[in-house]
């Protein structure tokens, strides 16, 4: 199977994403000095939600409560109102409250720093756990795979997988360790701007000459990005 060379791809993307909007959770992580709690909550809110909505909902919630202790004291209904209209805001409000309570009772008020412990928190899956480990605990051992990373890694021919979880495990084998912590940032930014789910902008993509464009059938019209 033809595949885009990983190092060439990552070096070109490093230049190409300069100046493009960063994903919401990355921005929040930087603005909050990688505070693990805010990274965790923002990542939970971000699932299947547009970045602008995630950023606004996180800002409203953090204005009222910035620690697990203060957030655990908010009612579920209040959290729900604050985070609306993120997708699944009802479920997310329940999970946010339960997660805060468990951080207080089981982890002495600190966000856990291992995959195993993070996965015990309500509503926290591998994607959220990996992003918290990378952005808040400076892990060099994790790859965070969301739908963008899953889609683009397959288009590039790096993996041939059906689910984000399969992609994560395949990427550990397909890529060198040095790229792991930044694969998410690069591919999510590219996925939001150029390698979009529908009608990717292949004709103007910096990877066009090396990418096998696997399963891409229709491309978008060139526009200014
Ligand atoms: S936009 Fe097209 S050329 Fe660029 S990475 Fe996506 S599939 Fe490959």
pLDDT by residue (tens digit) across 180-190?
999 999 999 99
Q: Is 159 in the pocket of ligand 1 (CB under 6 A)?
A: no
Q: Who has greater pLDDT, 1 or 28?
A: 28
- Cβ of 205 below 6 Å from ligand 1: yes
Q: Where are the alpha helices (DSSP H) in the chain?
A: 6-16, 24-31, 36-46, 51-64, 68-72, 76-83, 89-106, 115-118, 126-135, 147-155, 164-174, 180-193
What distance in angstroms lies between residue 184's CA and the mean position of ligand 1's atoms? 16
* 1: its two tokens: 């199977």
Answer whether 0.95 is exceeded by the pTM.
no
- Pairwise pLDDT comparison (2 vs 71), residue with the higher score: 71
Q: Cα of 39 to ligand 1 centre, how many Å?
A: 29
The per-residue pLDDT for range 150-181, each reduced to its tens digit, is 999 999 999 999 999 999 999 999 999 999 99
Using the predicted structure, report yes or no on whether residue 225 has a pLDDT greater than 90: no
> Helix, strand, or coil here: 218?
coil
pLDDT value for 16: 97
For residue 71 the two structure tokens come to 């957030």
- The model's confidence at residue 33, banded by pLDDT at 50, 70 and 90, is confident
């Amino acid at each position: 199977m033809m595949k885009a060379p990983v190092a060439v791809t990552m070096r070109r993307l490093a230049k190409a994403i300069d100046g493009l909007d960063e994903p919401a959770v990355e921005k929040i992580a930087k603005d909050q000095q990688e505070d693990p709690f805010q990274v965790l909550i923002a990542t939970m809110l971000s699932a299947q939600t547009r970045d602008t909505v995630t950023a606004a909902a996180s800002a409203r919630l953090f204005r009222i409560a910035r620690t697990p202790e203060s957030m655990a004291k908010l009612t579920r209904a209040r959290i729900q109102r604050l985070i609306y209209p993120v997708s699944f805001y009802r479920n997310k409000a329940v999970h946010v409250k339960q997660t805060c309570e468990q951080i207080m009772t089981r982890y002495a008020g600190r966000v856990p720093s291992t995959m195993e412990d993070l996965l015990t928190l309500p509503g926290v899956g591998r994607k959220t756990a990996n992003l918290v480990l990378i952005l808040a605990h400076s892990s060099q051992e994790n790859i965070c795979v969301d739908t963008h990373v899953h889609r683009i890694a397959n288009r590039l021919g790096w993996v041939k997988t059906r689910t984000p979880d399969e992609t994560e495990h395949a990427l550990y084998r397909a890529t060198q360790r040095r790229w792991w912590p930044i694969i998410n940032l690069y591919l999510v930014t590219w996925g939001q701007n150029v390698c979009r789910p529908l009608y990717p902008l292949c004709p103007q993509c910096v990877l066009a000459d090396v990418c096998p464009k696997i399963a891409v059938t229709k491309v978008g019209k060139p526009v200014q990005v």
